[in-house]
């Protein structure tokens, strides 16, 4: 399983390095989302700084939908699931590999996006540790659920509209917890708020969905 996961992750990341779709399209999209929020909230910086943590995570969520769709679009133009099933790879390994690749891409995107938040909204990072840990752990859970739903929707003609509808509500806990944790890290939360319960919630989310994915990805891929 681990060997197969490594194979798939390396393959996905190599394809991304060659094609640079996430870098050239998804990252700018996320930055544009940040800009749209700025327009919506008005030229006064105060609401932007206040909401920076939440807006960051919303932008990450939207970008994640695109990144996951890309992850499955890569698997041959038609019959997205045939190639991976025919390959003889362990499905649990495929799940972990794809999750790892998407998570890596999203973390890279988050690094750039946080620079964007600091620049555009004028946020100050009080606690780098909180921000980084929450980001990484949150992204792991995010990627796991995303790959699960992505596999469900892949190959369906309505996948472009169905995937966001399925995925985003399920990610509500990540948005809630990630925002609270980042608020603590950015110092924009109400005084006295600790990030610890939120980071542990993100960790539980990640562990639960990684475990679920490993178990259920095989049965999911069977059956036509």
CB 53 within 8 A of CB 183: yes
- Count, in order, helices (H) and strands (E) of the chain: 10, 0
Q: Which DSSP string do the residues of 185-202 spell out, in sequence order?
A: HHT-SPTT--SHHHHHHH
**Cα 127 to Cα 145: distance, rounded to the nearest angstrom:** 28
Q: How many residues bind another protein (CB under 8 A)?
A: 55
Residues in contact with another protein, shown as a per-residue x/- string from 107 to 146 under the rule CB under 8 A: --------------------------------------x-
Residues 17-46 within binding reach of another protein (CB under 8 A): 18-19
Selected binder of another protein within 4, 31, 55, 68 (CB under 8 A)? 4
CB 180 within 8 A of CB 192: no
**Cα 149 to Cα 188: distance, rounded to the nearest angstrom:** 33
Interacting span for another protein (CB under 8 A) from 22-30, 44-52, 105-113, 207-215: 207-215
Residues in contact with another protein, shown as a per-residue x/- string from 51 to 90 under the rule CB under 8 A: -----------------------xxxxxx--xx-xxxxx-
Chain-centroid distance of CA 154 in Å reads 17
CB 170 within 8 A of CB 141: no
DSSP SS3 for 222: coil
CB of 64 to another protein, least distance (A): 16
| 149: contact with another protein by CB under 8 A | yes
CB burial readout 146-185, b (16+ within 10 A) else e: bbbbbbebbeeeebeeebbebbbeebebbbebbbbbbbbb
Selected binder of another protein within 15, 38, 73, 104 (CB under 8 A)? 15
CB of 59 to another protein, least distance (A): 20
Interacting span for another protein (CB under 8 A) from 27-35, 47-55, 57-65, 193-201: 193-201
Contacts with another protein, residue ranges (CB under 8 A): 4, 7, 11, 14-15, 18-19, 74-79, 82-83, 85-89, 91, 145, 148-149, 152, 156, 158, 162, 165-166, 169-170, 172-173, 176-177, 180, 190, 192-193, 197-198, 201, 204-205, 208-209, 212, 216, 218-220, 222-224
């Amino acid at each position: 399983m681990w060997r197969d996961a490594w194979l798939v992750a390396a393959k996905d990341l190599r394809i991304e390095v060659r094609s640079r779709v996430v870098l050239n399209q998804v990252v700018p999209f996320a930055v544009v989302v940040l800009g749209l929020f700025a327009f919506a909230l008005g030229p006064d910086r105060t609401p932007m700084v206040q909401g920076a943590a939440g807006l960051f995570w919303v932008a990450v969520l939207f970008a994640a939908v695109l990144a996951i769709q890309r992850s499955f679009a890569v698997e041959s133009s038609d019959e997205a699931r045939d190639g991976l099933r025919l390959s003889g790879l362990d499905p649990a390994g495929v799940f972990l590999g794809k999750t790892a690749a998407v998570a890596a891409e999203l973390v890279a995107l988050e690094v750039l996006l946080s620079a964007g938040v600091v620049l555009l909204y004028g946020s100050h990072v009080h606690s780098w540790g909180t921000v980084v840990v929450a980001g990484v752990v949150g992204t792991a859970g995010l990627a796991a659920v995303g790959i699960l739903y992505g596999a469900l929707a892949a190959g369906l003609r309505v996948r472009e509209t169905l995937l966001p509808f399925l995925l985003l509500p399920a990610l509500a806990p990540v948005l809630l917890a990630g925002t609270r944790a980042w608020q603590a890290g950015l110092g924009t939360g109400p005084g006295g708020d600790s990030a610890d319960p939120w980071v542990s919630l993100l960790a539980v989310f990640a562990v639960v969905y990684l475990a679920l994915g490993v178990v259920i990805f095989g049965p999911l891929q069977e059956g036509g």
